[in-house]
Amino acid sequence: MDFKWLEDFLSLADTHSFSRSAELRGVTQSAFSRRIRALEDWLGAELLNRDSYPVTLTEEGKLFRETAEEAVRMIQTRRAEFRDRARGGGPEISLTALHSLTVTFLPGWLMRLQGAVGPIASRVKPENFDRCIAELTEGGYDFFLTYHHPRVRIPLEPDSFPHLVIGADSLAAVARPGWPDHWARDGMPLLQYSRGSFLGALARIAQAQDGAPRVYVAHTNEASMAEAMKSMAVEGHGVVWLPRSLIAGDIAAGRLEVVAPELPMQIRLYRNAARGRGLTSRVWAAAAGLAEGYAQTA
Q: Give me the CATH number covering residue 44.
A: 1.10.10.10
**251 and 108 part of one domain:** yes
Q: Label residues 125-143 b or e (16+ Cβ within 10 Å = b).
A: bbbbbebbbbbbbebebbb
User: Residue 269: pLDDT band by 50, 70, 90 thresholds?
Assistant: very high
What confidence tens digit (pLDDT) does each residue in 103-123 have?
Answer: 999 999 999 999 998 888 888
Residue 47 has a pLDDT of 93
Domain range spanning residue 52? 3-82
**106 and 186 part of one domain:** yes
Residue 176 has a pLDDT of 94
Task: Dump the DSSP string for 144-173.
Answer: EEEEE-TTS-----TTTS-EEEEEEEEEEE
- Domain end call among 82, 117, 146: 82
Domain count, the chain: 2
**186 and 162 part of one domain:** yes
**141 and 249 part of one domain:** yes
Q: What is the mean pLDDT of residues 90-109?
A: 90
Give dist(CA 39, CA 58) in Å, integer.
14
Residue 278's domain is classified under what CATH number?
Answer: 3.40.190.290
**40 and 157 part of one domain:** no
Residue 143 has pLDDT above 60, yes or no: yes
- Domain end call among 82, 110, 138: 82
Per-residue DSSP letter, 136:
H
User: Has residue 52 been placed in a domain?
Assistant: yes
Give dist(CA 204, CA 149) in Å, integer.
12
**268 and 154 part of one domain:** yes
- Domain end call among 34, 61, 82: 82
Plot region of 224 (φ>0 → left; ψ -120 to 50 → alpha; else → beta)? left
Give dist(CA 120, CA 116) in Å, integer.
11
**72 and 171 part of one domain:** no
**76 and 166 part of one domain:** no
